[in-house]
Amino acid sequence: MSDVKYANTLLQSFDPELIDRLHLKSVACKVGHEIESPGNPVKHLFFLEAGMASMTTTFKNGMDVEIGMFGYESAIGVSALMGTKQSLNRVYRQIAGWGYRCGLQIAAAEFGRCGPFQRITLR
């Protein structure tokens, strides 16, 4: 079982058994690293421990607008757990850092248990 101390507030709220089922992998990302891009499949859920990511959308005239930000109080990719097959927006690192990711299939299985993981990620 995991005895890691997490900075991500979602991960802090999960019990060790749930954390083990997620099979988290540590990832480091530089500024500009693209986590999701429009039209591409969402393959992972990301839990940031340090740094920040932005979500932008592009209008028909080519203008990009930030529509969301992610930090240590969130998970990236949750919409895929509710049926989104492809990313609708660009999500990329604005501030370098690191965190954890888990495969979407693993996260979907945990989400389907209708337990704490589902309740917390939907918040």
Cβ atoms of 10 and 118 within 8 Å: the answer is no
Kindly list the structural domains of the chain, giving each domain's residue range(s) and its CATH number in brackets, ordered by start.
Answer: 9-122 (2.60.120.10)
pTM over 0.85: yes
How confident is the prediction along the chain (123 residues), in pLDDT tens digits per residue? Answer: 457 899 999 999 999 999 999 999 999 999 999 999 999 999 999 999 999 999 999 999 989 999 999 999 999 999 999 999 899 999 999 999 999 999 999 999 999 999 999 999 988
Instruction: Give the SS3 label for residue 123.
Output: coil
